[in-house]
Amino acid sequence: MFDQPPAAARTNPERSFAEEVRSLRLGAGEVFRGEGVLAVTKALLQSGVAYVGGYQGAPMSHLVDVLVESQDLLDELGVHLETCTNEAAAAALLGASINYPIRGCVTWKSIVGTNVAADALSNLASPGVIGGALIVVGEDYGEGASIIQERAHAYALKSSVWLMDPRPNLPTIVHCVEKAFELSEATNTPVMMELRIRACHVSGSFVAKDNVAPAISRNARLAEPVPQDYGRISHPPSTYIQEKLKVDVRQPAAQRFIVEQGLNELLPGEREDLGIIVQGGIANVLLRGLDRLGLGDAFGAVQVPTLVLNVTHPLVPDQITDFCAGKRAVLVVEEGAPDYLEQAIGALLRKKDIGTRLHGKDVLPMAGEYTAEVVTEGLLKFFAQTANDIDLSRPMQALEQARAGRAEAQRLIGAPLPLRPPGFCTGCPERPVFSAIKLLEREVGKVHISSDIGCHSFATLAPFNLGNSILGYGMSLAAAAAVAPVMQKRTISVMGDGGFWHNGLLSGVSSAMFNRGDRVLVVMQNGYTSATGAQFLPSSAGNRRDGNNTSDIAVTLRAMGVRWLRTIRTYNVSTMLGTLREAMTTKEPGLKVIVADGECQLARQRRIRPLLAAALKRGERVVRTRYGVDDAVCTGDHSCIRLSGCPSLTIKASPDPLRDDPVAQVVNSCVGCGLCGEVADAAVLCPSFYKAEIVQNPTWWDRLMTRLRSAVIGRLQGREPAADVR
């Protein structure tokens, strides 16, 4: 009913970045227009990188995605692109710059990606690099973040990696990327650049330069490796020397470079008695805040001298103390906890015996995003405590008025608005698995569900509310290792194919096999890392380099020694339920794995829509399938929605004047996956679901049969009186 190719034959979802690819080819003097992430990508090519790599994750996915589509350009320049299978691999990729004078850049989502990369990162930072090494992290912090809230800053501090946090406009971002490579080479140290979500997606323009082909590259290979230098190996005794080099040589070099190149910006202002030190990434919020208080303007001029730190590690002690000296008070605007900058600045002032009062987290909150409201309030408090000659009554009143207005709005609306958490897409192949788990729980009772990172984590939200913990990407099986032994029923771990290849195979499967874990693992095999925008993974069909298939999950599991293994097409809820039941109850000991197979529906739609349109245009017979609900049969209990949650299965006012409860309806976005029918069947719900197959470009046979059928059916319906009145 829902034809889809087997996993090994699914083709590229064909997202098009043609426009983006064109902007990467811009030459000197041409104006680049686009968003932040793409500007970074262009800046890399302008800086002569020899290799780029990374692991996808919002808000950085776009960087590698666009490069994947730019293979021609990369081949011309000789740039190697590695689509890494996790962030540790990406960090290790930078190892090329330890021994060779080649520039490289990797990217990932932070904090999670930085955590995964941490080991390689330490081992990279210790010997240091001779070719510029840049790590661009998407700092997923604040509104819209999808992960734990921690700062990448800690890694820069502990590994002695320099951290850039540029002002969120394209010229500064591009300039910082270029300077980052120089800084890295001048100091033999990898440089990390953090970009927050809004900065990654900010639109803007800059004047492009020509792309630079690296001197050593795929196109210009080295005859032989460099002679071994034990000093570049992160083993003792080298590590003792490396640690000293970090603090005695590299850090002072970095501080010199920062000052000489003017990486941090000093915005002068007439109020010399006060000062503000701000991270570059939130400079715009601060500058608009000063404007709001009448202490600045729309073009970034300020009355209070402001030091914008486009490099937040290392700090330059003289720069800080020179800035603070002679001022009555300085405010540090630093987002997130802990307050690394404020502590460091405080220590600097104390050591130099500078009496300037230091404010920061006392007037600004320790945790949470520094939004306009938060920063405005912080500034008001700071000036109220330090400069009573500044008249703040007007902005103070405006803030209070806005807050009172918000309270009034909330009072008017009365009740909290319905939440709109992310959920599975229409036709998602993962949803049926959770429908089956819900039905399973009706039989066996509640089960401990160990969840993972990926689209399937949405099952922890309504309507499924399934999942007891998330311990990281690919960690769900490992996270059940100590739960299973204390549980009468087996545990179910759910993992995507993305998580499987990222970490789950080793951290989860091999460990479970090794320890004879008696658990159930469901691997969602949809063919891509879908949550991050359908990137290829080792089990995707048609590798981007040569079109051949690479690795197969089931074959890999067998090779790992997994004996109880089933591959199930997810849309068949009854079969999925039966398989889960068997996995939960079989006498077979050890790990039981269900590979739940179904192509990502977003990818599928992207793939088939143009094909269908073309077939229709050619006049070929095309059958469009969708589902519907008979509103006269539906009684408005919505069990079907509780078991499915499909966005196209929604509600409408009941057409029955005698009933108040809204009835279910299938809206036009339905892709005909058939889950609602399957669920109605498996859960024995109600007979209101129907499947409709609309035959487009019908053949003469279709038309003849339809005419015959309509004639008979029409006569029977015609004879049927509206009411049998006796």
- Measured between alpha carbons, how far is 419 from 522 in angstroms, rounded to an integer? 29
Using the rule CB under 8 A, which residue among 203, 515, 585, 586 binds another protein? 203
Least spacing, CB of residue 24 vs another protein, in Å: 18
User: Which residues between 622 and 641 bind another protein (CB under 8 A)?
Assistant: 626, 628, 630, 632-633, 635-639, 641
Of 675, 645, 673, nearest in space to 459 by CA:
645
Q: Which of 424, 434, 500, 501 binds another protein (CB under 8 A)?
A: 424
Best CA proximity match to 135, nearest among 119, 154, 121: 121
Residue 55 and residue 68 in contact, taking contact as beta carbons nearer than 8 Å: no
By CB under 8 A, name the one of 83, 115, 386, 426 that touches another protein.
426
Six token digits for residue 681:
């069947």
* Minimum distance from residue 22 beta carbon to another protein (Å): 13
Site for another protein, residues 541 to 600, rule: CB under 8 A: none
Least Å distance, CB 335 to another protein, is 12
Instruction: Identify the residue among 332, 480, 522, 531 touching another protein (CB under 8 A).
Output: 531
Q: Which is nearer to another protein, 244 or 403 (CB)?
A: 403
Q: Residue 617: exposed, middle, or buried by beta-carbon count in 10 A (0-12, 13-18, 19+)?
A: exposed
Is 408 an interacting residue with respect to another protein (CB under 8 A)? yes
- 81 phi-psi bin (left φ>0, alpha ψ -120 to 50, beta other): beta
Q: Which of 129, 202, 349, 583 binds another protein (CB under 8 A)?
A: 202
Residue 240 C-alpha from the chain's centroid: 37
Residue among 95, 317, 533, 590 that touches another protein (CB under 8 A)? 533
* Chain length of the chain: 726
Distances, alpha carbon 386 to alpha carbons 278, 359, 390, in Å: 18, 10, 9
The neighbouring-strand residues paired with 629 are: 689
Residue with Cβ nearer another protein (330 or 534): 534
Identified binder of another protein from the candidate list 222, 252, 401, 613, rule CB under 8 A: 401
Q: Which is nearer to another protein, 240 or 701 (CB)?
A: 701
Report d(CA 698, CA 62) in Å as an integer: 42
- Among residues 561, 559, 552, 535, which one has the least CA distance to residue 595? 552
What is the rounded CA–CA span in Å between residue 137 and residue 101? 23
The minimum distance between CB 345 and another protein, in angstroms, equals: 24
Please report whether residue 18 would count as binding another protein according to CB under 8 A: no
- Told to check if 33 binds another protein by CB under 8 A, we report yes
Distance in angstroms (rounded) separating the CA atoms of residues 315 and 344: 8
300 forms part of the interface with another protein (CB under 8 A): yes
Which window, 127-135, 241-249, 386-394, 695-703, contacts another protein (CB under 8 A)?
A: 695-703
The window from 21-29, 83-91, 528-536, 549-557 that contacts another protein (CB under 8 A) reads 528-536
Binder among 394, 403, 558, 609 for another protein (CB under 8 A) = 403
Using the rule CB under 8 A, which residue among 240, 299, 353, 445 binds another protein?
Answer: 299
Contact (CB, 8 A) for 268 and 305: yes
* Distance of closest approach, residue 646 Cβ to another protein, in angstroms: 10
CB 53 within 8 A of CB 90: yes
Q: Which is nearer to another protein, 346 or 365 (CB)?
A: 365
Q: Which is nearer to another protein, 265 or 362 (CB)?
A: 265
Helix (H) / strand (E) element for 67: namely helix 61-69
Residues 27, 29, 143, 618: which binds another protein (CB under 8 A)? 143
Q: Is 215 in the site for another protein (CB under 8 A)?
A: no
Which of residues 127, 168, 499, 504 is near another protein by CB under 8 A? 168
Q: Of the ranges 95-103, 121-129, 400-408, 591-599, which one interacts with another protein (CB under 8 A)?
A: 400-408
Query: How many residues in the shown chain lie near another protein by CB under 8 A?
Result: 127
Burial category of 714 from C-beta neighbours within 10 Å (exposed 0-12, middle 13-18, buried 19 and up): exposed
Q: In terms of CB distance, is 384 or 623 closer to another protein?
A: 623
- Shortest Å distance, C-beta 403 to another protein: 7
Each residue of 583-594: b (16+ CB within 10 Å) or e? bbeeeeebbbbb
**DSSP β-bridge partners for residue 90:** none
Shortest distance in whole angstroms from residue 638 CB to another protein? 6
Biggest alpha carbon–alpha carbon distance for the chain: 105
DSSP reduced 3-state for 588: coil
Question: 661 is written with which tokens?
Answer: 């409860």
Question: Does residue 38 belong to the site contacting another protein (CB under 8 A)?
Answer: no
Which residues, 654 to 693, sit near another protein by CB under 8 A? 654-662, 668, 677, 680-681, 683-687, 689-693
297 lines the binding site for another protein (CB under 8 A): yes
Positions 277 through 296 that interact with another protein (CB under 8 A):
283-285, 287-288, 292
Range 349-378, binding another protein (CB under 8 A) = 371-373, 376
726 lies in the site for another protein, by CB under 8 A: yes
Would you say 119 or 693 has its CB closer to another protein?
Answer: 693
Q: From the CB of 535, what's the least distance to another protein, in Å? A: 11
Distance of closest approach, residue 241 Cβ to another protein, in angstroms = 44
Assess 131 for contact with another protein (CB under 8 A): no
Pick the closer one to another protein by CB: 372 or 482: 372
Give the phi and the psi of residue 54 in degrees, each rounded to 5. Answer: 165, 175
Q: Which of 215/407 has CB closer to another protein? A: 407
Q: Please, what is the minimum distance in Å from the beta carbon of residue 85 to another protein?
A: 19
Considering the complex, what minimum distance in angstroms separates the CB of residue 413 from another protein?
5
We find the least distance from the C-beta atom of residue 689 to another protein, in angstroms, to be: 5
Q: Which of residues 430-489 bind another protein (CB under 8 A)?
A: 455, 458, 461-463
Inter-residue long-range contacts of 690-695, CB under 8 Å, 24+ positions, other chains counted: 690/627, 690/628, 690/629, 690/630, 691/1, 691/625, 691/626, 691/627, 691/628, 692/625, 692/626, 692/627, 692/628, 693/623, 693/624, 693/625, 694/623, 694/624, 694/625, 694/626, 695/621, 695/622, 695/623
Of 27, 227, 418, 619, the one binding another protein (CB under 8 A) is 418
In terms of Cα–Cα distance, which of 243, 214, 248 is closest to 231?
A: 243
- Return d(Cα 463, Cα 485) in angstroms, integer: 29
Query: Using the rule CB under 8 A, which residue among 198, 359, 490, 592 binds another protein?
Result: 198
Distance CA 178, CA 192 (A): 13
Q: Of these, 46, 532, 539, 570, which contacts another protein (CB under 8 A)?
A: 532
The distance of closest approach from Cβ of residue 467 to another protein in the complex, given in angstroms and rounded to an integer, is 16
Task: Decide: is 199 part of the binding site for another protein (CB under 8 A).
Answer: yes
For the CB of residue 565, give the shortest distance to another protein in the complex, in Å.
Answer: 28
Q: Which is nearer to another protein, 495 or 683 (CB)?
A: 683
Place of tokens 């966005």: 647
How many Å apart are CA 280 and CA 302, to the nearest integer?
A: 15
CA distances from 157 to 122, 130, 234 (A): 11, 20, 18
- Nearest distance in Å: CB 693, another protein: 4
Of residues 310-339, those binding another protein (CB under 8 A): none
For 579, the 3-state DSSP assignment is helix
- Please tell me whether residue 565 adopts helix, strand or coil conformation: strand
Minimum distance of another protein from residue 582's CB (angstroms): 17
217, β-bridge pairs: 220
Angstrom distance (rounded) from CA 390 to CA 356: 19
Is 45 a binding residue for another protein by CB under 8 A? The answer is no
State the Cα–Cα distance between residues 448 and 438, nearest whole angstrom.
Answer: 12
